Amino acid sequence: MIVVLAEKPSVARELAQVLGASSRRDGYYEGQGYRVTWAVGHLVALAQPDEIDMNWKLWARDTLPMLPQKFPLKVLETGRGQYRVVERLLRARETTGVIAATDAGREGELIFRLIYEHSGCTRPWQRLWLASMTEDAIRTAFSKLEPGTRYDGLAAAARARSEADWLVGMNLSRAYTLTGGALYTVGRVQTPTLAMVVGRDAEIRSFKPQPYLEIEATFEGRSGAYK
């Protein structure tokens, strides 16, 4: 039995139709030697500070910076039910292989890798790289499955981004909050984006109209003159 893990239920449905996995089960489709299941975005994420070290539960200056030696994983509460389904399929005795069918890109790669790792699955797996969701494109992609190791670099980049987000967000949010006396959230993307919005808003508020000139010309065309 081959387990196919898609990123979204809608994608899983399309893949199942093409593969002939027409029997709907609780959290997956089954048929023709396949079990097609799905994540709901991220099912697994990096643990919170206090889940790594109980000393980090208290927001205090002497606990900063928080620099984990390892980043343990946890199942997100919002997707716990679907994670149990996926984990059971990945670890099932009859499962002989796995196909990563999450979105083709850095984040899709991370979603699959974290689920596969946290589930403790040891079955061999391959990568489905889809550029289109047409039936022909899906059949072609399944005929050209690639070794998962081909995308190890992409997975490493995704994991580095995730851990960098954790380090910046967890540490600086606490540092700014302890300094400012109010709750501040700081993020690798959120904060510079917010700064751009605030800066642009300040430019608009301080705008002062200035006189300017426009050039006006008259042209002669076949249908007459125009400005």
pLDDT at position 193: 95
pLDDT in tens, 39-65: 998 999 999 999 999 999 999 999 999
In the chain, at which residue ranges do the beta strands (DSSP E only) sit?
2-6, 23-25, 28-31, 34-38, 44-46, 73-75, 97-101, 125-127, 146-147, 219-221, 224-226
pLDDT at position 145: 97
Q: Could you tell me how far CA 186 lies from the centroid of its own chain?
A: 19
pLDDT at position 41: 87
pLDDT at position 82: 98
Element (H, E) at 175: helix 152-180
Q: Which amino acid is at 23?
A: S
Task: Determine the Cα–Cα distance for residues 85 and 37; give it in Å rounded to an integer.
Answer: 8
Find out whether the peptide bond into 65 is cis, omega within 30 degrees of 0. Answer: yes
pLDDT at position 175: 97
Q: Which residues are CB-contacts of 21 (< 8 A; sequence separation ≥ 6)?
A: 15, 29, 30, 31, 32, 34, 35, 36
pLDDT at position 147: 96
* Look-up of token digits 């890109």: 105
DSSP bridge pairs for 98: 3, 125
Q: For the chain, what is the HEC assignment?
A: CEEEEECCHHHHHHHHHHHCCCEEECCEEEECCEEEEECCCCCEEECCHHHHCHHHCCCCHHHCCCCCCCCCEEECHHHHHHHHHHHHHHHCCCCCEEEEECCCCHHHHHHHHHHHHHHCCCCCEEECCCCCCCHHHHHHHHHCCEEHHHHHHHHHHHHHHHHHHHHHHHHHHHHHHHHHCCCCCCCCCHHHHHHHHHHHHHHHHCCCCCCCCCCCCCEEECCEEEC
> What percentage of the chain carries pLDDT values higher than 90?
96
Q: Which amino acid is at 124?
A: P
> What percentage of the chain carries pLDDT values higher than 70?
100
pLDDT in tens, 168-212: 999 999 999 999 999 999 998 999 999 999 999 999 999 999 999
What predicted TM-score, i.e. pTM, was given to this entire model? Answer: 0.84
pLDDT in tens, 58-106: 999 999 999 999 999 999 999 999 999 999 999 999 999 999 999 999 9
pLDDT at position 218: 96
State the average pLDDT for the chain.
96
pLDDT at position 46: 97
